Amino acid sequence: MRTSEITRKTEETKIKLSLNLDGKGESKINTGCGFFDHMLTLFSKHSKFDLDVACDGDINVDYHHTVEDIGIVLGKALNEALGDKKGINRYADTFLPMDESLVLTAVDISGRSYLNFDVLFNSEKIGDFDSELVEEFFMAFVRSAEITLHIKKLAGENSHHIAEGIFKSFARTLRAAVAVDEKFSDQLPSTKGVL
């Protein structure tokens, strides 16, 4: 089983997270931020990863530390759950429509951290959630997961639809990239011999 459980405690957040890459898309999410709970639930459902997240954060300040720190922990959990990475597809991409919005995500599980976030939101807030925190989440995730990720908005006006499209597209892209090709399950998908 490709699983990971991580607990992280700082002066700003206390996080307990478990991840199962070979799950059914079941989740239990409690971050203290309704919109972010919604995005992580979508992520779990569309990736088919089982995900439990409990966070006690300083949301009396704002959601920044909660969102960023969950990105850090989820990225570490992914990296840990992937183990030696033998047999994974490594690369994947998804075009995903969400009503009027259209999002492209592409990933390389490369061992190198890079984020290209080419998205402009049309509002600063989605409910009480700062739309700029979507990028903060992915920046933190990419650093600790050690992956290359491109996210591009191709169309969209409604900020909620754009964010939802991003999380759904990313989920489906990651699901395809971490899938194991049984024919090559003993091989690392790299000429370097390491990812």
CA dist 75 and 64 (Å) reads 17
Give the predicted TM-score (pTM) of the model: 0.95
pLDDT digits (tens, 9 = 90+) for 153-192: 999 999 999 999 999 999 999 999 999 988 887 777 766 7
Give Cα 40 to chain centroid, integer Å.
8
Please give the domain boundaries of the chain with CATH numbers for all domains: 3-184 (3.30.230.40)
